[in-house]
Amino acid sequence: LPAGMSRKMAPKYLGPFQIEKVIVDGSSFKLALPRDLLARGINPVFHASLLRIFNENEDTRFPGRQQFDLKGFRAGAKTWSVVEISDHYGKGKDLLFRVKWNTGHITWERLREVKKLTAFDNYLTALGV
């Protein structure tokens, strides 16, 4: 789990992954995991009770949600860059900034996450600070 990410907010399952081989009929399966997961020491053999049938995301209810939301879990994953910072609220350590990403997603990020970004400098300039 990446630093700073809550276990509650992490996706429960990763995937989809293709089944390469049935190890024990109906009991254990070897999955075709990406190299970066194997490099992290994840064993590709799983018991059937740990696997779930893949269902597509319901894009109308959860637009833009991706299968792999954890950073660093897929080589060649789509890179996100900040388009603009358009708003803020709170003060002190609770100060949050509204960040628009190149993927179209909008999130609220803490000052420590945005203070080194060019978009943050542009936002401060627009505010006249």
- Identify whether residues 59 and 19 lie together within a single domain: yes
107 SS3 class: strand
Longest dimension (CA), the chain: 67
Task: Please give the sequence-ordered ranges of beta strands (E in DSSP) within the chain, or none if there are none.
Answer: 19-24, 28-31, 45-47, 82-89, 96-101, 106-110
Boundaries of domain holding 86:
82-127
- Identify whether residues 61 and 97 lie together within a single domain: no
Rounded Cα distance between 98 and 87, Å, is: 5
- Identify whether residues 89 and 61 lie together within a single domain: no
- How does pLDDT run across 30-58, given as a tens digit for each residue? 999 888 888 888 899 999 999 888 777 66
Number of domains comprising the chain: 2
- How does pLDDT run across 90-105, given as a tens digit for each residue? 988 889 999 998 878 8
